[in-house]
Amino acid sequence: MQLNSAERNNSKAKLAQKIKKEIQEEYHRQASFLRERSDFCQELEYFLEIFSLPVSPQKVKKRFSRPFVGIYCIQAPLELFDALGFHPIRLCSGSLAIQRLSSPFLPALTCPLIKSCVGAFYLDESIEKLCDILVVPTTCDWNTKLPEMIQDKAIPFYIMELPHIKESERGQSRWLEEIYELKRFLEQCAGRRLNRSQLQISVNKYMKAWQAFGRLIEFRRRGLICGTWSIVLANAFMIDDVESWTDKVNIVLKNYDKPEGNSNPGVFLAGSPVFFPYLKISELIEEAGMDILADELCTSERLIASVIYDEPSEYGLLKALSERYHLSCSCPTYIDNDRRLKNILNTMRTYNIKGIVYHLLKGCHPYDLESFYFEKVIKENGFRFLKIETDYSREDRQNILARLEAFRATLC
């Protein structure tokens, strides 16, 4: 029996409500698990509360008074949004339940992160629907096709065309022009011109955040704070107010400031993004008896950028921002990316990290392609390499744990 239009809409609404409840349970379950860890301290509760916001969009509206800009990549300059009065939010999602809303009309091997991001548009309420603007830098093909995937929704997308050769003068010039185009667009949306002194204030705010990030990474290298908590704190940065986040991270680090850290074998985590509540790979690495002393995830350590100093002109500040977000980024979608592997090898040698766990989300093609070259070079340099291909589901946890435990044995 075929359903009429009203019945179909009613059925979709009921499904969306059911999935919304499942998403809330998913976030609550992960937060509860983190609270039960032996290394949990009360100062971390603030960050777990931040992750209650995506499932309660009205809380987001009350917490942050400024207009929202949703961003889908760390290439978008946060300081520019802040200077023009917007609150930037990175629209990543680690929810498995939400994928049921998007899976019926996406390819089976769509990247799980994109499935979750698209699914959010089919909820009655979501952070995405609170955004005044959605900014999409054209990094991977999934990101590039994102507006098309949700073309039946009245969402204001702004596309930043990313040059995929970054070391060339032409690529740098093109990206600087993209920054200026974004500035002009944001000025139109804000109804005012960018003020150089306000931009400097925003730059200074984020400089303090980068300094706190640097201390967090230092603590992690020494084994004072675990990889999972480090990722959680980094994830929260992409939602929270930058000044509040900076203050709370500094408070957390005081609690973990001690002479010695853990002594488990250290590994480097590379590959696809990890975002709350999907923390499967980091939790299993630690359960297998290893410490994640460093990572190269765009939802964790790659968020940190080099410091920008006081520039005398608006042009100087915008150029410095352009270079920082473009040249320092090591996304696998770039063609000229040799520095990325060199930096990873240097970090491993400096901190006596003996192996890499390469996390690959199914359908994440740029990381999948580069993993073969990575494995070759890593092994040639005397390090161990393990690739874990997975998705947001929980069914493969025991299999992954067994592989990680076997990998740990090769590091001793």
Separation in Å, CA 123 to CA 28, 40, 56, 194: 18, 32, 12, 35
Report if residue 373 sits inside a domain: yes
Strand pairing of 384-390 and 157-160?
unpaired
* Residue spans of the chain under pLDDT 70: 1-10, 151-153, 261, 305-309
Rounded Cα–Cα distance for residues 301 and 328 (Å): 12
Rounded Cα–Cα distance for residues 259 and 42 (Å): 21
Report if residue 1 sits inside a domain: no
Amino acid 247: pLDDT: 98
Where b means 16+ CB within 10 Å and e means fewer, 379-397 reads eeeebbbbbbbbbbeeeee
Domain that holds residue 203: 8-411
List the structure tokens of 220. Answer: 């992690």
CA Rg value for the chain: 21
Q: Going along 272-330, which residue ranges are E strands?
A: 291-295
Separation in Å, CA 80 to CA 202, 216, 244: 8, 25, 18
Amino acid 166: pLDDT: 86
Amino acid 192: pLDDT: 96
**Phi (first) and psi of residue 267, to 5 degrees:** -130, 165
Q: Give residues with Cβ within 8 angstroms of 355, minimum separation 6.
A: 265, 267, 268, 383, 384, 385, 386, 407, 410, 411
Report if residue 3 sits inside a domain: no
Report if residue 187 sits inside a domain: yes
Give the DSSP H or E segment for 211: helix 196-221
Count of domains for the chain: 1
SS3 helix, strand, coil % of the chain, rounded to 5?
A: 55, 10, 35
Which residues does residue 390 pair with via DSSP β-bridges, in sequence order? 361
**Phi (first) and psi of residue 384, to 5 degrees:** -85, 155
Rounded Cα–Cα distance for residues 404 and 354 (Å): 14
Which residues does residue 89 pair with via DSSP β-bridges, in sequence order? 70
Rounded Cα–Cα distance for residues 196 and 321 (Å): 13
Report if residue 72 sits inside a domain: yes
pTM for the predicted model, two decimal places: 0.94
Separation in Å, CA 128 to CA 156, 185, 275, 388: 10, 19, 16, 30
Amino acid 5: pLDDT: 61
Report if residue 43 sits inside a domain: yes
Q: Give residues with Cβ within 8 angstroms of 369, minimum separation 6.
A: 332
Amino acid 306: pLDDT: 64
Rounded Cα–Cα distance for residues 400 and 127 (Å): 32
